[in-house]
């Protein structure tokens, strides 16, 4: 299994399988709900080369791994048998403040269907574009089939949310799905269209078209879960498997049509009306605010609190004005990353920025934010300012969107009204382009402290250089390899930090500085040293050698051991590791590179252990 070792590392450092209440994932993050957050080792996870960032927010322990999150999620499930909503019924959801509870519930319900929801939104947008450009007509067979594929999830949303909500609340998902199906049953929709008043045991029924609705089924799933727990305690084990679903379905289904559905539908309309009232009070200010703060909310995972507003708008008034305001926020960070990529002469940062630009175009901004703009601070600020400017323009045009999906380049197709192109589309294009351009230009001109840290002038006077620079010794003898040439994108892109790599000529690793062993992987293939000068140094012997599970490696120190420059840290068998098919290229990374104005590797083809390798310039 490709991600088995990473999955093991994550499970171990979240406190083990028993510490996990539930696990879901979104576009880039694993979202754990833990019993005891103190058992989680966030700092250890942050030091992993395969993990972008760890965020604790909204009552969740969020591990950002990138666009391959679903593969890591599946690997964790196979190892620990974790599923969305696992054990949710055994632990109270009401931990932390109300905001944390709300975000935890919302993310738990919507993240499992986020991917397919984004896909259907993109398809709807492309169909709108095809109609606007007269590539097809809405009565053609091609359009009808593709529209059915695009619209099915949203039309049958009560059934989908019935499943995810019941999993979150720890109840039987099939009871909730049956209730969701009843809400959109053809006979119910026919009764709604007829306008005839019907009665249930003498009580008048308010028929509503529940297709695409959100709130009724979520509340129904919660009520059903509470009722199931009560019924299971009343019925004998011999009959409860039959009678609990029967009574839960009849009671909850009836309550949903008579009370829950009408009340929550009215609440949904009030929420939509309230949002639209605030938005129309001053759409320019609303746009500037959302454009500026959206990426800040994303950093902490708090953006989920606004997702239900967009979905509710789409289900009640059939359009949404919130999501268009987010396009400048996304493309502001994309533009800032592009500015950094064009400005820097550092090959690794250029590579990282380029990949972040590509991911950001398709709506994934975490690589840009965590890897490029936020570490350099100013580009992130410029991206937020660009988002505010673009959001204000889109607010001025009062642009709308007609289907849900990730905010990305495909969103431009989703904003096309059924009547075709109009000024609202123009407003989105202008606002987004202005945000992108502003962030790119400002980041190019002012975003980096030093455009080319590798070109730092090292010809300062010796007495001054001694005060400014920190010299680290080579931990091994071998051939020098540029970090950009390492056959591992995590190291080559400098996501972990700047540094250099060596191809060892002998199997010994020595301490590059006086300090403390801050981390020692249990497989002994990698070790972290924190020097007395506060440099954080990661020595990773070989590529993918973690898969050897410690074979051919021997540690001569322990975690928290005090070491002196030149002390023996590790030994390894070069011949056996190479014979096993592993690349011995060893990255030496300064994981806190941002604390220095330059990380300057030695200019040589080979080095000897304990001689100068890297100079850190303050």
Which residues form the catalytic set?
26
Closest CA to 147 of 131, 171, 161: 131
Closest CA to 159 of 205, 118, 114, 213: 213
Report d(CA 78, CA 83) in Å as an integer.
10
Closest CA to 309 of 267, 350, 342, 339: 267
DSSP 583: B
Both tokens assigned to 565: 């420059």
Asked if 502 contacts 588 with a C-beta cutoff of 8 angstroms, the reply is: yes
Q: How far is CA 299 from CA 105, 338, 340, 534, 592, in A?
A: 19, 20, 20, 27, 20
Report d(CA 120, CA 362) in Å as an integer.
15
Spell out the residues 6+ positions from residue 493 whose beta carbon is closer than 8 angstroms to its own.
348, 351, 352, 355, 371
Asked if 36 contacts 105 with a C-beta cutoff of 8 angstroms, the reply is: no
CA 243 from centroid of its chain's CA atoms: 42
Could you please report the per-residue DSSP string of 287-331? HHHHHHHHHHHHHTTGGGGGHHHHHHHHHHTS-BSTGGGGHHHHH
Report d(CA 105, CA 93) in Å as an integer.
8
Could you please report the per-residue DSSP string of 417-481? -TT---HHHHHHHHHHHHHHHHHHHHHHHHS-S-S-GGG------HHHHHHHEEEEE-SS-EEEE
Report d(CA 251, CA 223) in Å as an integer.
10
């Amino acid at each position: 299994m490709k991600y088995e070792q990473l999955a093991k590392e994550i499970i171990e450092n979240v406190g083990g399988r028993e510490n996990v209440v539930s696990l879901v994932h979104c576009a880039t993050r694993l979202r754990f709900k833990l019993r005891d957050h103190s058992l989680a080792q966030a700092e250890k996870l942050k030091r992993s080369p395969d993990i972008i960032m760890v965020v604790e927010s909204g009552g969740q322990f969020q591990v950002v791994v990138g666009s391959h999150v679903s593969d890591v999620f599946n690997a964790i499930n196979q190892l620990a048998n974790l599923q969305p909503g696992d054990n949710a019924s055994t632990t109270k959801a009401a931990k932390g403040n109300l905001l944390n509870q709300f975000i935890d519930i919302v993310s738990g319900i919507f993240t499992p269907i986020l991917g397919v929801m984004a896909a259907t939104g993109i398809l709807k947008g492309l169909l709108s574009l095809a109609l606007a450009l007269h590539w097809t007509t809405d009565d053609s067979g091609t359009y009808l089939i593709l529209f059915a594929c695009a619209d099915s999830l949203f039309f049958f949303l009560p059934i989908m949310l019935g499943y995810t909500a019941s999993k979150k609340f720890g109840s039987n998902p099939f009871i909730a799905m049956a209730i969701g199906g009843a809400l959109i049953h053809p006979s119910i929709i026919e009764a709604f269209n007829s306008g005839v008043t019907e009665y249930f045991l003498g009580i008048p029924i308010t028929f509503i078209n529940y297709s695409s609705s959100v709130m009724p089924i979520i509340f129904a799933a919660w009520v059903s879960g509470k009722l199931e727990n009560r019924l299971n305690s009343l019925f004998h084990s011999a009959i409860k498997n039959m009678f609990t679903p029967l009574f839960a379905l009849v009671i909850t289904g009836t309550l949903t049509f008579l009370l829950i559905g009408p009340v929550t539908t009215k609440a949904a309309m009030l929420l939509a009306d309230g949002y639209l009232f605030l938005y129309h009070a001053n759409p320019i200010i609303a746009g500037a605010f959302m454009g500026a703060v959206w990426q800040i909310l994303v950093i902490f995972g708090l953006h989920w609190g606004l997702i239900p507003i967009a979905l509710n708008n789409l289900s009640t008034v059939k359009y949404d004005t919130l999501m268009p305001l987010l396009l400048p926020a996304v493309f502001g960070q994309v533009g800032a990353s592009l500015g950094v990529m064009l400005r820097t002469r550092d090959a690794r940062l250029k590579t990282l920025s380029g990949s972040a630009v590509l991911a950001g175009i398709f709506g994934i901004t975490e690589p840009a934010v965590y890897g490029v703009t936020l570490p350099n601070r100013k580009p992130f600020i410029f991206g937020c300012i660009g988002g505010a400017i673009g959001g204000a323009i889109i607010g001025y045009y009062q642009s709308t969107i007609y289907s849900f999906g990730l905010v990305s380049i495909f969103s431009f197709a989703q904003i096309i009204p059924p009547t075709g192109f109009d000024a609202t589309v123009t407003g989105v294009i202008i606002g987004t382009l202005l945000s992108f351009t502003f962030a790119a230009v400002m980041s190019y001109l002012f975003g980096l402290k030093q455009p080319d840290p590798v070109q730092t002038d090292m010809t300062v006077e010796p007495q001054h250089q001694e005060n400014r620079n920190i010299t680290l010794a080579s931990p091994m003898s071998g051939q020098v390899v540029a970090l950009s040439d390492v056959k591992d994108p995590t190291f080559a892109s400098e996501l972990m930090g700047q540094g250099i790599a060596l191809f060892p000529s002998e199997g010994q690793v020595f301490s590059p500085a006086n300090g403390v062993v801050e981390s020692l992987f249990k497989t002994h293939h990698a070790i972290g040293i924190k020097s007395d000068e506060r440099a954080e140094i990661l020595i990773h012997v070989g590529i993918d050698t973690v898969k050897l599970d410690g074979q051919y490696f021997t540690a001569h120190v322990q975690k928290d051991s005090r070491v002196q420059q030149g002390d023996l840290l590790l030994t390894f068998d070069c011949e056996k590791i190479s014979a096993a098919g592993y690349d011995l290229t060893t990255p030496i990374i300064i994981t806190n590179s941002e604390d220095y104005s330059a990380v300057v590797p030695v200019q040589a083809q080979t080095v000897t252990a304990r001689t100068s390798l890297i100079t850190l310039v303050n």
